[in-house]
Amino acid sequence: MDLSRYSNRELLELYLAHLLARNRSPRTVKTFRSLLARFLEFVGERRISEVTTWDVDAFLAKLRASGYEERSIYTAAVAVKRFMEYLGLRENLRGFELPKRPSELPRYLTPEEVQAMIDAAGNLRDKLVVSLLYCTGMRVSELVGIRVSDVDLEEGSIRVRGKGGRERVVFFDSRTRQLLAEYLPTVKGCEYLFPARGGEGHMHYVTVERIIRKLARAAGLKKRVTPHVLRHSFATISLARGMDVREIQELLGHASLRSTQIYTHVVKQRLLSDYRRVWG
């Protein structure tokens, strides 16, 4: 690619188009757009081809000084590194090392807390949203992309499209089956299980996030609850109840077992907490 033909902003748009073409999640594209736009603002009038490891380090240091959290700084480093590599500027980053990724154990809800959220929902759709996220462990982007034809009520399964367009099958419990049986007639004729208002396309993932926040407040939960917390809850409780970690990896759609193994630490922490509660 002849970088001199494009402005820095145009190169950013080309990279974002590349991410979209590779079926990266809307959340990832939005996050990378924001962080990389800030990076280009930091670079100023210089060409991106002139950027070096020192510039990237200085940018990350500025984010840290501005109050960015460790996780956000790590994400920014990944975004800049991948952007530069896409442009063929790997040599510019010689000696660059990603910041240490913060080791934060996933937050999760108890079955009772999830039930409280479902009970707090005032309509069938919102009850189903919570129940599906919890009992399948699917990502919010996968949830909104479910088509009615993907649901097999008899088998108790749903075909979902994960990261990179990879398809897998997830399963749902009897409670969710009952909710689906009641809900499906309300979207008859729609392509998506959760259609957007007006019927064109599917519901936006931000709408799902708002639903989850609202129901957590209505249920009186003090924790910060997101769709991903329900995904964590599925994995943590599945492991605690005896499911094999490789089975959970398959259901979550993790490419690497390392991503799934963090839940073994969560279960161990929970076991220790329960032990101390009983034995002091």
Residue among 64, 147, 163, 213 flagged as catalytic: 163
Based on the residue annotation, tell me whether 166 is a catalytic residue of this protein: no
Do residues 107 and 223 lie in contact, with contact meaning Cβ atoms separated by under 8 Å? yes
Based on the residue annotation, tell me whether 163 is a catalytic residue of this protein: yes
Residue among 24, 159, 228, 270 flagged as catalytic: 228
DSSP state of 145: T
- Half-sphere CA count of 86, side-chain side, radius 13 A: 17
Residue among 38, 139, 202, 232 flagged as catalytic: 139
Based on the residue annotation, tell me whether 139 is a catalytic residue of this protein: yes
Based on the residue annotation, tell me whether 228 is a catalytic residue of this protein: yes
Coil vs helix vs strand at 207: helix
Distance CA 19, CA 5 (A): 21
In angstroms, how far apart are the furthest CA atoms of the chain? 69
Distance CA 155, CA 138 (A): 18
Based on the residue annotation, tell me whether 265 is a catalytic residue of this protein: no
Buried b (16+ CB within 10 A) or exposed e, 97-125: eebeeeeeeeebbeeebbbbbbebbeeeb
Distance CA 183, CA 177 (A): 10
Distance CA 225, CA 110 (A): 12
Residue among 38, 127, 202, 231 flagged as catalytic: 231
Distance CA 115, CA 113 (A): 5
DSSP state of 2: -
Catalytic residues: 139, 163, 228, 231, 254, 263
